[in-house]
Structures are given as structure tokens and as C-alpha cells.
Amino acid sequence: MDAKIAEKQGDSGLLALIGNTPTISVLRDLYPKADVRIKLESFNPGGSIKDRVAHKIIHDAESRRLITPGDELVEATSGNTGIGIAWIGRLKGYRVTIITHDKISQEKLALLKFHGANVIIMSSETPADSEDHYVKAARRYASQKGRFFCDQFYNQSNIEAHYHSTAPELWLQGGRNADIVICGVGSGGTLVGLNRYFRERGSRTKFVVADPHGSLYHSYFSGSTYMPSSWQVEGIGSNFIPGILNKEVADEVYSVNDAESFSAYGLIRRKYALDIGLSSGAVVSTAMKILEREPDKKIMCISPDSGERYLSKLQQD
């Protein structure tokens, strides 16, 4: 979120630093005809793109008088949205409970607890239609008085956060002339917000989704048969379709396996000393697949967080 927006919302100090994240060029040595830039969302004060979403959800709920300090904020998340809600909620005087699953990295779990959140861990293998699925468990937990379900998968504030902050930043950083924008899809807010902003300005930029092998999104966007399996990359992919997502926002989708994500992450770290996360590895892997076929494209990549949040998994790999 840029400084003007933050000022309008009455924010100061740390909250005013959310947004205005930089971009950096990569892969020029491997693809000299291409222009590939990564937007580094790890530069947000809470370390991920989800600071934007957490801030917007809390601000909008306060504006609608749905919450007041002392209430309990509840969210279902693979980690980063929870971390954003935890630190912003604590700063604003809220209690926070995060419902997550056992795929979460040790580092993100530690950060949630560091920021004072109560954490409940569910199984990542639970079917989406089960009452024990982590999203349904969070909704059930939040049903008691004094608790507010942030509900990133169905909350329009998620989209608005990216429409009003991530998208205009990316547009001015080269997105207006980009052939392709690549991002992963977790809740879908980033993709929907970016797509809406670009399309309203007449952009013909193609929006490409990098999806973990085994996730439902590849089948959802491409119309293919869903073949579920587990994957290690956090924050992107799903076994259910969020309410804020629609098929029209993706022009193409690439299925990326864990090995490809880890490999691309390692390439960026070794060649450029750049700390990106594993979902960013999936995004970079997708960019490289495209450039093997079309080597002269201008591509903007969204990097949601840093590799610091996955060191335990990276060391195992």
C-alpha cells in the first residue's frame, strides 16, 4: 500500500511502510533477449505480500464497526496471511487465533507464535468437504461472540488490497508494457486484483498462473481432469476453489512440481544472491518454461515472500 493510501487511512509508523516494494531484473544472462523482473514482496514489514491483505481486511472491518480492539481475529491460512494478521492485530490491540495445517514450515509457525498468535494445526490431507478442513474449522471457531473471521478466501477486501496497492505499483514498475505477469494462486486475491486493474486500463498483458503439481487450480483454469496429490511448496495451490476466484482472470496455467520449484529457487539464490521463497521458485520456473518457447518476452513475476521462511525445508531438500 503506498504512502498516500496509508495516510488516508490514518496509518503511521510501521503500517505506513506496507507496500512500495521493489522489482529486480533476473535471468538476462540466460535469456539475453528477455526482460524478466521480480517484484520482491518480502520487503513488506511483515515479510510477505500478505501484509497488504491483512492490513486491508482489518482496516475495512474496523471501518464497518465489525471489530474493536480487544476482539479476537481468526484466520485460516498456510502462514503468511496469519503472520500479517498477527503482527498488525497485535499492534492494534486485538487477540489473534490462526488455524493452519501441518504443511506449514517451522519458521512460519515460530513467527506466528513470536507475534503472539494462538495457533491451531489441522491435517493438510483433510478433504475440502470435511468439517475438519482447516478453513471450516476456522469458520466454526470464529462463530462465537467476540471473534471475527477474516476469511481471506471469501473476503473482497483481499482483492481490493491488491487492486489499490500491488497493481498500481506493478503497473508503474514496468507492468504496463509487460507481455506476461506470472503469480501463484493461494486465495486468488493477487491474481484477481491485478487482472482487474490491468484490464480496466486496456492492458492486453497475459496473466499466467504457476500452480504446484497436485493442486486443483491447474484443472480449474485449464478444464483438465483433476489428479490430486500432495506438494511441499507453501502458500500456493489448493484442494478447493476460493469464493473470490473466477476462471476469467487467468489466461494460462502451468503445473510446476516441487523439484522444479526448488531448482528455480536455488538458481536465483546462487546466481543473484537473491532470497526468494519456494512459491517464487514456482513462478520463476514458469517464466523459464515460457522463455524456452518465446525467448524475447517481457515478464513480471510476483515473489510473495523470502526463502528465510522455509530454511528447514530447504535444508531437508
Calculate the alpha carbon distances from 1 to 15, 89, 192, 311 in Å: 9, 17, 17, 28
Residue of 157, 215, 238, 279 marked active site: 279
Calculate the alpha carbon distances from 77 to 7, 123, 134, 138, 265 in Å: 28, 13, 8, 9, 23
Beta bridge partners of 97: 74, 118
* 50 given a catalytic annotation: yes
Q: What are phi and psi of 256, to 5 degrees?
A: -120, 125
Contacts 24+ apart (CB under 8 A), 165-168: 165/1, 165/2, 165/5, 165/18, 165/19, 165/52, 166/19, 166/39, 166/49, 166/52, 166/190, 166/193, 166/194, 166/302, 167/193, 167/194, 167/196, 167/197, 167/198, 168/2, 168/197
Q: Are strands 147-149 and 72-76 parallel, antiparallel or unpaired?
A: parallel
Q: What are phi and psi of 80, to 5 degrees?
A: -70, -40
Q: Is residue 234 within 8 Å of residue 108, measured between CB atoms?
A: yes
Calculate the alpha carbon distances from 260 to 34, 105, 157, 294 in Å: 20, 19, 32, 19
* 279 given a catalytic annotation: yes
Residue of 39, 42, 48, 50 marked active site: 50
Calculate the alpha carbon distances from 19 to 73, 211, 242, 253 in Å: 22, 25, 24, 27
Helices (H) and strands (E) in the chain, counts: 12, 10
Q: Which residues are catalytic?
A: 50, 279
